[in-house]
Amino acid sequence: MRILVIEDEKKTAAFLAKGLREAGFAVDLARDGETGLEQARATKFDLLIVDIMLPHKDGWEVVAELRGDGVRTPILFLTARDSVRDRVKGLELGADDYLVKPFAFSELLARVRSVLRRAPQRQAERLRIDDLEIDMRRHKATRSGTPLNLTPKEFLLLAHLVRSAGEVVSRAEIAEQVWDIGFKTDTNVVDVVVRRLRAKVDDPFKTKLIHTIRGVGYILIARENRIT
């Protein structure tokens, strides 16, 4: 899932991005209201985390314009403005939650997950191909009923391969679109993670799902391709 954080304070933005990525989310950053508004209009995000006191265009304006445009992406205000009046205003503008700074990251993460659970899902919550099953909500995967102990990077990669079953996924796509990191041709980080993923998903089982297309990338091939 992809989250847009609209936050002008660099340390706070970096802290949020690091924590959310470690929790398995892809994160985009915007440092002012105008840029954030443009990104929110141009890209389909699963959640927006919005500060109120922003340069160029404040958070109130950003949310009001998005809701006025009919954008229904869930929104969580994260701000130092702590009055009841401000909280009420934020929720009445169309935000789904409101958290006051300073905050505990564990609480923010719980609220993020709560908002996402309540939101209409754009994608299937459960993916299934052959004997492989992925629970997107709980971040769990099983094969033939056996739990797979996956890291956040491995889980996101496996889910992407399943959604793209039968199609070749390039190394650059994995790095940039799945993990939200820059792709560098002189590193083998993608291959290392794929190798670890295969050790968990394929090695203990007779049928291999993940295949290498030499010089291009990877493809998940299965007898049955059913997403439920």
Query: Taking residues 49-60, what's their average pLDDT?
Result: 96
Domain residues for 10? 2-118
Q: Which pLDDT does position 225 carry in this prediction?
A: 47
Which CATH number goes with the domain that contains 206?
1.10.10.10
Report if residue 227 sits inside a domain: no
User: Do residues 47 and 109 both lie within one domain?
Assistant: yes
User: Do residues 102 and 151 both lie within one domain?
Assistant: no
pLDDT tens digits, residue range 175-199?
876 776 666 666 788 899 999 999 9
User: Do residues 114 and 198 both lie within one domain?
Assistant: no
- How many domains, in total, are found in the chain? 2
Q: Which pLDDT does position 70 carry in this prediction?
A: 87
Inter-residue contact 133 to 126 (CB < 8 Å): yes
Query: Taking residues 31-44, what's their average pLDDT?
Result: 93
CA dist., res. 136 & res. 25, Å (int): 12
Inter-residue contact 66 to 99 (CB < 8 Å): no
Buried b (16+ CB within 10 A) or exposed e, 187-224: eeebeebbeebbebbbeeeeeebbeeeeeebbbbebee
Inter-residue contact 43 to 4 (CB < 8 Å): yes
Query: Taking residues 24-39, what's their average pLDDT?
Result: 93
Which CATH number goes with the domain that contains 34?
3.40.50.2300
Global pTM? 0.59
User: Do residues 140 and 110 both lie within one domain?
Assistant: no
User: Do residues 45 and 102 both lie within one domain?
Assistant: yes
